[in-house]
């Protein structure tokens, strides 16, 4: 099997992973009202510690998966003679909706948080001047990262930082090096060793400001590495095929690392008295190791079972970015009305989640998708106007 970079045919399982990944993010945030963690804009009076454990499990691979997919997308989108086009696409798809979000629905989200917590009393319009006082996260209100749109900001910055490296990888010498790397990683078992690269990156990055794990449970340096690795993984057919073949091994390793680490943490077993240094390593690093195993598992099973296209994925793949942009402000708005009600927690979630989903889809379909100006503001490409088919004699004249 060739190690040359692959550009065709379209890998439909990436569309599935992208769509399902965003739906999982939506599901995750719909539960944030109720998990036992205070880091959310609006919280229910009663929270669940068990739910928090499920959320921690999702944080282990959720956003890393989205970053890996984004790295893969860069591999297919970038070519050495179209760097300007690539940069233009990054600006339109990431930077424009980020800026629009910072000065629109981010204001609404911060307003909801401040009023819910009793930190502001007044109308939304009265809050707008207050929004520009201080930086959010540092005692102020201005959401300089767009609240949940930090993901777009991170992708934009990482794209700029790694663009020279990506461009070099697309040159003939770089492609040969990339092909060699793919060939080495395709040796059975070698790709799993990349988990041992993630661990020190996470540990070292904790000592610097940009290493704070405040971005979906991970640091910017971790995302930088995952973004690059996403580019590398999808540069070799042989490597991808190996990931598909070893999907069950990946799943077994993910369950083993996660299970052992979880038991050691929950039971508070002294690692030096049980598994020695290896036990201590698992306690400290089972999340990082498990992340990589789950990523390989998800990619491998998607390749095996989801490499086909449907109307759902065609529609959803285009809707992914607007859905992501809309989902959190809609969830918070719906939650604002439901959370104060004296009804069971599970019933609140059972109402918030589907109602929010329907509102998001309706907004996308009837407000965003059909109007080119709004599409651009939400990071979508404008719709092309249909050109009427020319009559046969008109076509001949046109050729002449």
pLDDT for residue 273: 54
Q: Using the predicted structure, report yes or no on whether residue 251 has a pLDDT greater than 50.
A: yes
Least confident of 10-24, 137-151, 276-290: 276-290
CA angle 306, 307, 308 (to 5 degrees): 95
Residue 282, domain member (yes or no)? yes
Q: pLDDT class for 10, splitting at 50, 70, 90?
A: confident
**Domain hosting residue 43, numbered range:** 12-102+149-382
pLDDT for residue 147: 94
Residues 324, 271 contacting (CB under 8 angstroms):
no
Phi, psi torsion values for 192, nearest 5 degrees:
-70, -25
Least confident of 268-282, 289-303, 367-381: 268-282
Residue 302, domain member (yes or no)? yes
* Percent of all residues in the chain with a pLDDT value above 70, rounded to a whole number: 85
Average pLDDT over residues 204-212: 56
Q: Does residue 291 or residue 209 have the better pLDDT?
A: 291
Q: pLDDT class for 203, splitting at 50, 70, 90?
A: low
Q: How far apart are the first and last CA of the chain?
A: 47
pLDDT for residue 159: 96
Q: Using the predicted structure, report yes or no on whether residue 202 has a pLDDT greater than 90.
A: no
Q: Using the predicted structure, report yes or no on whether residue 139 has a pLDDT greater than 50.
A: yes
Gap between the Cα atoms of 110 and 137, Å rounded: 11
Query: What is the crossing angle of helices 49-77 and 220-233, to 10°?
Result: 50
* Percent of all residues in the chain with a pLDDT value above 90, rounded to a whole number: 72
Average pLDDT over residues 364-376: 97
Gap between the Cα atoms of 233 and 149, Å rounded: 26
Q: Using the predicted structure, report yes or no on whether residue 207 has a pLDDT greater than 60.
A: no
Q: Does residue 164 or residue 81 have the better pLDDT?
A: 164
Residues 186, 235 contacting (CB under 8 angstroms):
no
Q: Does residue 387 or residue 233 have the better pLDDT?
A: 233
Average pLDDT of the chain is 87
pLDDT for residue 294: 95
Residue 393, domain member (yes or no)? no
Q: Using the predicted structure, report yes or no on whether residue 399 has a pLDDT greater than 50.
A: no
Q: Does residue 212 or residue 60 have the better pLDDT?
A: 60
pLDDT for residue 283: 53
Residue 389, domain member (yes or no)? no
Q: pLDDT class for 105, splitting at 50, 70, 90?
A: very high
Going by C-alpha positions, the residue among 57, 55, 69, 92 that lies closest to residue 20 is: 69
Residue 126, domain member (yes or no)? no
Residue 161, domain member (yes or no)? yes
pLDDT for residue 197: 83
At 33-64, the pLDDT tens digits run 999 988 899 999 999 988 998 898 899 899 99
- Cα–Cα distance list, 134 to 49, 153, 173, 179, 329 (Å): 33, 19, 48, 48, 21
Residue 109, domain member (yes or no)? no
Question: Who contacts 69 (Cβ-Cβ below 8 Å, separation ≥6)?
Answer: 14, 17, 18, 21, 230
Residue 119, domain member (yes or no)? no
Note the pTM of the prediction, 2 decimals: 0.89
Q: Using the predicted structure, report yes or no on whether residue 208 has a pLDDT greater than 70.
A: no
Average pLDDT over residues 289-301: 94
pLDDT for residue 131: 97
Q: Using the predicted structure, report yes or no on whether residue 324 has a pLDDT greater than 90.
A: yes
Average pLDDT over residues 188-210: 76
How many domains, in total, are found in the chain?
1
């Amino acid at each position: 099997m060739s190690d040359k970079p692959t550009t065709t045919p379209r890998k439909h399982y990436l569309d599935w992973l992208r769509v399902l990944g965003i739906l999982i993010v939506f599901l995750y945030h719909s539960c944030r009202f109720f998990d036992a963690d205070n880091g959310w804009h609006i919280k229910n009076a009663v929270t669940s510690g068990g739910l928090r454990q499920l959320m921690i499990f999702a944080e282990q691979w959720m956003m890393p998966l989205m970053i890996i997919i984004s790295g893969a997308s860069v591999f297919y989108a970038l070519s050495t003679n179209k760097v300007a086009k690539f940069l233009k696409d990054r600006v339109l798809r990431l930077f424009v909706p980020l800026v629009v979000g910072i000065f629109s629905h981010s204001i609404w989200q911060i307003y909801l948080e401040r009023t819910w917590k009793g930190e502001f009393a007044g109308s939304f319009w009265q809050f707008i001047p207050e929004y520009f006082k201080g930086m959010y996260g540092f005692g102020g209100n201005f959401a300089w990262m767009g609240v949940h749109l930090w993901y777009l900001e991170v992708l934009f910055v990482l794209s700029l930082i790694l663009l020279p490296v990506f461009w070099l990888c697309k040159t003939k010498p770089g492609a040969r090096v990339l092909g060699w790397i793919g060939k080495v990683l395709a040796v059975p078992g070698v790709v799993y060793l990349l988990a041992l690269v993630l661990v020190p990156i996470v540990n070292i990055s904790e000592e610097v400001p940009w290493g704070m794990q405040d971005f979906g449970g991970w640091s910017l340096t971790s995302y930088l590495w995952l973004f690059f690795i996403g580019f590398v993984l999808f540069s070799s057919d042989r490597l991808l095929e190996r990931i598909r073949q070893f999907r069950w091994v990946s799943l077994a390793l993910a369950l083993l690392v996660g299970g052992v680490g979880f038991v050691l943490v929950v039971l508070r077993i002294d690692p030096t008295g049980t598994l020695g240094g290896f036990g201590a390593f698992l306690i400290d690093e089972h999340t990082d190791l498990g992340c990589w195993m789950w990523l390989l598992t998800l990619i491998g099973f998607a390749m095996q079972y989801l490499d086909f296209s449907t109307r759902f994925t065609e529609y959803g793949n285009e809707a992914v970015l607007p859905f992501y942009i809309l989902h959190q402000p809609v969830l918070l708005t719906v939650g604002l009305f439901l959370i104060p009600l004296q009804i069971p927690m599970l019933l609140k979630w059972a109402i918030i989640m589907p109602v929010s989903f329907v509102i998001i889809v309706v907004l996308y379909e009837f407000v965003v998708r059909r109007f080119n100006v709004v599409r651009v503001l939400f990071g979508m490409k404008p719709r092309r106007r249909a050109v009427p088919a020319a009559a046969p004699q008109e076509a001949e004249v046109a050729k002449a």
